[in-house]
Structure 1
Amino acid sequence: MTGTRRREMHLLAYLKTGPTGMHVGAWRHPNSRLDDILEPSRYEHIARVLEAGKFDGCFFADLFGLYDIHKGGFDTYIERGGQISFLDPVTVLPLMARVTEHLGLGATLSTSFHSAYHLARVLNSLDVLSKGRIAWNVVTSATDLEAQNFGIDKLPPKELRYDIADEVLEACFALWDCWEDGVFVLDKERGVFGDPGRIRYANYVGKYIQTRGPLSIPRSPQGRPVIMQAGSSDRGRDFAARWAEAIFSAQYGEPAMKAFYDDVKGRMAARGRAPEDCKILQGMTIVLGETESIAQEKAEHLNSLIDPELALAANSSGLAVDLAKVGQAQVADARGNQGMDGTQQRIEQQMREDGLTFDQVVRRGARSMVVGTAPMVADRMQALFEAHACDGFVLAPTIFPGMFEDIATALVPELQRRGIFRKDYTGRTLRENLRGPAPS
């Protein structure tokens, strides 16, 4: 008789190698650490905190350049502390892997600028060294400024970017499958190091991408990195339905969350994929307090630190439109081939749910935060989870690293007490922990 298991919530942490996450004012809080952004100890510490909290993993959001869309320059981002990646996330993942055993580790890399062979080689190397804990947050990139840093004047059209991305992933999968298990013989007596019969060429040829292979790297314990994705457009959802094993969703309000969840799971079913093959994780920012009033005071203080000009610059970057010059009516035409549909959808959802104007939303800066005691926040998370609005959450920091420390010591035990979050890791690899334990 096949056993059953209770559905478990999954948690990922949203990280940046810079001053702020989603909340544009949080870096100004007295308890936010800034002096160690360029220090290995910062990344080692947060890795230990997240593993102690039994997070599935973390991933680093990234931009291949400095946002300079707002007022035609990067002054606002540098002066006022915007979302900046001072370090390539790929360089900090090995630091985090060295001090943990279970935590999944993800990096954002673009299919529009990196060759399939380079992507497959770097990610598989990390996956082997971490013993199967690497995730690839696949992006096609959304701004011309990134393209220009790679010697391309403008991004290709979105549909073409996704067509290329499909082939890049097909090529990477072919490269990751070049090695079978058991290549290493290591027989000194006979002088046989390995079995070449267990390695083959990839010989992938697509319309846009081709690579011969093989990789010079053996298979990792999880076979290949976990594929993450965050596209919200129609084409992005199709891409996710085909490839993603974890999706970072940034919908605003429960109706939008459920609509996104049902849509993507339906697209997966149409491709013959089971619902559990991909976890849809809703973005959330949390403020915890010993009492509700303390939590509210913390949230109000955080929001008082928001610089409206930086909030406007951040939304300009997401839309790839200078909102200092362009109003709501001109956004669609001004965006052209750039910008993230997820930002556009979030703004529209906030306007509808909160009764705000476009200008109020893009200058407000404070995204919806879940504020309260650990049981209160757990109530909200459990309600969304059990309503099948998500399979878990991507938690973005406010005060760093204090917010994650509070989550690990106060919120996670509450979720564990309710039986909806793991008490310990059950898998050897990130993929195994995302999929959950096998039925008893």
Structure 2
Amino acid sequence: MRAAIADGTLPVGSRLPASRVLAAELRVSRGLVTEAYQRLAETGQVAGRGRGGTVVVAAPPAAPAAPAGPAPRGGPIDALRALPCRIDLSPGVPDLTAFPRTAWLQAERRVLAGLTAADFGYGDPQGTPALRGAVAGWLARNRGIRADPGEVVVVAGVAQALGLLAQVLPGAGVRRVAVEDPGSLGARQQLEHGGLDTVGVPVDGAGLDVAALRASGAGAVLLTPAHQFPTGVVLDGERRRELLAWGAAGGLVLEDDYDAEHRYDRAPVPALRALAPESVAYAGSVSKLLAPALRLGWLLVPRRLHEEVVEAKRHADLGNPVLAQLVLARLMDSGELERHLRFVRRRHRRRRDAMLDAVARHLPGARVHGAAAGLHLMVTFDGADFPDTALAADALTLGVKAHPLSWHRISPGPPGLILGYAAGPAAEIEEGVSLLGRALRTRIRDQRR
């Protein structure tokens, strides 16, 4: 019946057969038909009209048509991103409606007015001196990192930074990289696509387990110490000291500082790069601050890897587009980017609070992780025995996107969801979590049968 409603065989407004009649036609019990109607009502697809019977009131989102070209590459995240939905609670996206269009346009006009004809030629593959200087200043002010502009390599986001590192690390004798478990599936895929082997290292309430890292035999480790993805844990002081000692003994730390600027209920956490520049490769971007579409980020590596990384960047794309670099540099130097950060931080905090309230109301028993900072929450359903992929699929049939936690796990663990709250208004967050609650109740009832 769901399929018939979805494909229009039972259009919105049509009346379903009486339960007694359908039961006789299908030769099943009337109770079974009644239960089916009840489930359709719980998902908002039908409604009782008294003597008017049961009527179709909404169709679920139609499955997307098969693409004309190849299937989406990159795994489940890319596939999910391509699907239509009404409410997108996927993690990793800021409030794109807040992009500072006026400030960007004004900065672009000023930049264009000052360019010479020669400035439109090929740029420095390492990045324009203006942006490298601006990034150095930004990192000093916001992340406590003291870096010379010559150390900065401008990249097309953290994804490219990881891809470049995957190219140069084998030359430094590193072919196995430890990753956080749970940790970003996308980041792990970047390293593996570059030919590196990855091994999971557990994350607990204090962050990455450094003892397990030592036992893994990895020559490098990728981690998110300021706001671990997806748990939100901060790497604590003792673990930091242990990790830096591991780095000083020859290990390489790959620090993904993906959303450290977004914090609400705690003080900023210093970047590891600020403490040990010769054993930490540091990557960041404006994807969570302005917009992923800009594809602008930065990479700082130990001196022994710098020339190889610049050479890999040269062969990758000859450098990022110059105009966008110069506009971003102007926003950073003028203080406009800090003003934008203050504005979106207030907005994101309100949306975070709205999601916390909605989770408390609609997902009773769910445990919330990582609420003090970032752009997402992780919720776990401790003790539940259903697959979180099934819950996410149920939510998608109701028009809501969310990441199942298991996508980002290597080892098994409790089911959960990763819910982004930055991209949509509070009313949309409330509705989305309410629909998740509906899917959860149905899933739990089905598991008990």
**TM bucket normalised to smaller:** under 0.3
Larger relative contact order (CA 8 Å, sep ≥ 6): 1
- TM-score (ref. length: structure 2): 0.25
